[in-house]
């Protein structure tokens, strides 16, 4: 025997008989996925043996048995007629009262011309040239920009970039028309829809509400039909886009075979702040030019050509609380200059609104496995007084894509942490903030366009759009992809530069 063989022990040592460390050898995420799969398919696993037993019993039936059954029914004609009539009645009631499906045929995001691009350096130069800001507040704006997550290619309207600035009603109308008509023209070209086919129009713009209204401007420009149902939503903040979707959804339930056009935008020209109140300078640093047009339909014939189906909308309003109500306020400063003031309580208020919103949304979208874990933890903490951490449901099991309003870097950081999302899930929101800035209610659509341009949207994927707004509001919309989106056939603001993204965005980018 060789030395190597003779040195090998015949009986394993006690250390070799020890069990492996399962904590290190088994990835707990697979255990959780197995649990999730078991609970999700528990009903099917339970019913499978029952189906097998019934099938085995039916296989024993002879032709004579079937004849006896038919003979029995033939002499109970009244029962058969009553049951049939009841079945027809219930089926009719179901088909009449069930909600009409709402399809997102297509959408379009406006991309301003290159002349409207505003680098961070140009922003600081134009701010200094106005002569309105103190040296301290110019430095304050510089610090905000360096930490904002905004890049060098965001857009501002001509009236703001001009030296000196020219904020007036004519310029504000010009900006509104440029954004709205640009987005609508692109949408009509994508869908080959005639303007006269539009039966519902919903426009939202929080801070610019002229007379005639923005919706009237669209009706006049495109010569929409006289019996169109139109709404113009104002003062509802960055979450108004999802409010518009929810309103259009409700209108489509009572108006069959109709198209609804939703326009989401904000106007910068008349809402640029020229004072020195720091809480009002933040919007100057974050808000940028943009808008989106969305075409919805309740026609079942449109399902084949539509991109998404609306599954849920959940709206949360915390306006009854004074602190929530006043955390974002348009007001005059001590010098009489109008601006939008952001309270220091904003993040806390947003977190509370988010908690309420996802508590309502969770049971609608989360798999039963996550709901059971959440309920068990709640019972343990509240009833049994156990010292355990509250369970945060894994929304990644309910959604493949997340479109979180690109309101600012702090908002995105907080939601990434609280919802336990990965960099991949946050990428559309962060890249939208970097490339286009905070475009208010339209930012969600730039984010969805990013996912489409990257070729990430597959048939059956679920997307969660979530936005916050003054008042204070937190609103959600859930969409299900009806087909796989081929980026080669798409036309959106990202397509000619999508190969440049994602980019690394440092926490502080010095100017």
Active site residues: 238, 317, 401, 405, 438
- The secondary structure element, H or E, covering residue 198 is strand 198-204
Q: Which residues contact 296 (CB under 8 A, 6 or more apart)?
A: 102, 103, 104, 105, 245, 248, 249, 252, 259, 260, 261, 262, 310
DSSP code, position 499? G
- 403 in helix, strand or coil? strand
* Peptide linkage before 502 cis (omega within 30 of 0): yes
DSSP string, 226-264: TT-EEEEE-S-GGGHHHHHHHHHHHHHHHSSS-EEEEEE
Kindly tell me the sign of the dihedral angle through the C-alpha atoms of 151, 153, 155, 161. Answer: positive
Q: Is 225 left (phi over 0), alpha (psi -120 to 50) or beta?
A: beta
DSSP string, 302-323: GTTT-SEEEEEEEEEE-TTSHH
Pair type for strands 338-342 and 328-332 = antiparallel
Q: How many CB atoms lie within 10 A of CB 16?
A: 8
Token pair of 129 as six digits: 């040239």
Nearest to 198 by CA among 226, 179, 232, 176: 226
Pair type for strands 401-404 and 462-469 = parallel
SS (H, E, C) 259-302: EEEEEEECCCHHHCCCCCCHHHHHHHHHECCCEEEEEEECCHHH
Pair type for strands 291-297 and 103-109 = antiparallel
CA distance 83 to 60: 27
- Cross-strand partners of 117: 155
- Quickly tell me which residue has 């009645």 as its tokens: 89
CA distance 262 to 260: 6
């Amino acid at each position: 025997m060789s030395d190597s063989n003779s040195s090998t022990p015949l009986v394993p040592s006690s250390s070799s008989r020890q069990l492996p460390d399962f904590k290190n050898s088994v990835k707990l995420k697979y255990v959780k996925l197995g649990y999730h799969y078991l609970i999700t398919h528990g009903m099917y696993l339970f019913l499978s043996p029952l189906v097998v037993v019934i099938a085995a019993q039916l296989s024993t039936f002879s032709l004579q048995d079937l004849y006896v059954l038919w003979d029995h029914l033939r002499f109970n004609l009244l029962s058969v007629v009553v049951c049939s009539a009841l079945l027809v009645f219930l089926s009719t009631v179901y088909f009449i009262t069930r909600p009409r499906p709402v399809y997102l045929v297509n959408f379009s995001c406006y991309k301003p011309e290159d002349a409207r691009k505003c680098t961070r350096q140009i922003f600081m130069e134009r701010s200094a040239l106005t002569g309105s800001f103190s040296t301290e507040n110019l430095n304050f704006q510089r610090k905000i920009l360096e930490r904002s997550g905004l890049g060098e290619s965001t857009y501002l309207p001509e009236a703001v970039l001009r030296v000196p600035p020219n904020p007036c009603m004519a310029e504000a109308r010009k900006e509104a028309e440029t954004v709205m008509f640009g987005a609508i023209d692109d949408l009509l070209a994508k869908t080959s829809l005639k303007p006269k086919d539009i039966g519902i129009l919903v426009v939202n713009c929080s801070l610019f509400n002229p007379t005639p209204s923005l919706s009237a401007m669209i009706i006049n420009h495109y010569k929409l039909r006289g019996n169109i149902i139109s709404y113009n939503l104002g003062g509802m903040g960055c979450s108004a886009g999802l409010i518009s979707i929810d309103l259009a959804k409700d209108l489509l339930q009572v108006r069959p075979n109709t198209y609804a056009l939703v326009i989401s935008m904000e106007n910068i020209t008349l809402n640029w702040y020229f004072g020195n109140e720091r809480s009002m300078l933040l919007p100057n640093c974050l808000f940028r030019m943009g808008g989106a047009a969305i075409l919805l339909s309740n026609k079942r014939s449109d399902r084949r050509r539509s991109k998404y189906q609306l599954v849920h909308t959940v709206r949360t309003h915390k306006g009854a609380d004074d602190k929530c109500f006043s955390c974002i306020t348009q007001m005059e400063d001590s010098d009489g200059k109008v601006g939008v003031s952001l309270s220091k309580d904003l993040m806390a208020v947003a977190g509370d609104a988010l908690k309420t919103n996802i508590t309502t949304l969770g049971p609608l979208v989360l798999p039963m496995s996550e709901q059971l874990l959440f309920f068990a933890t709640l019972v343990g903490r509240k009833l049994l007084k156990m010292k355990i951490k509250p369970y945060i449901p894994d929304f990644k099991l309910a959604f493949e894509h997340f479109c979180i309003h690109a309101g600012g870097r702090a908002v995105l950081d907080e939601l990434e942490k609280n919802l336990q999302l990965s960099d991949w899930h946050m990428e559309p929101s962060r890249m939208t903030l970097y490339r286009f800035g905070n475009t208010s209610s339209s930012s969600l659509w730039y984010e969805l366009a990013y996912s489409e341009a990257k070729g990430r949207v597959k048939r059956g994927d679920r997307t969660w759009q979530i936005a916050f707004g003054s008042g204070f509001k937190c609103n959600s919309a859930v969409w299900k992809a009806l087909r796989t989106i081929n980026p080669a056939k798409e036309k959106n603001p990202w397509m000619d530069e999508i190969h440049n993204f994602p980019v690394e965005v440092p926490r502080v980018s010095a100017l």
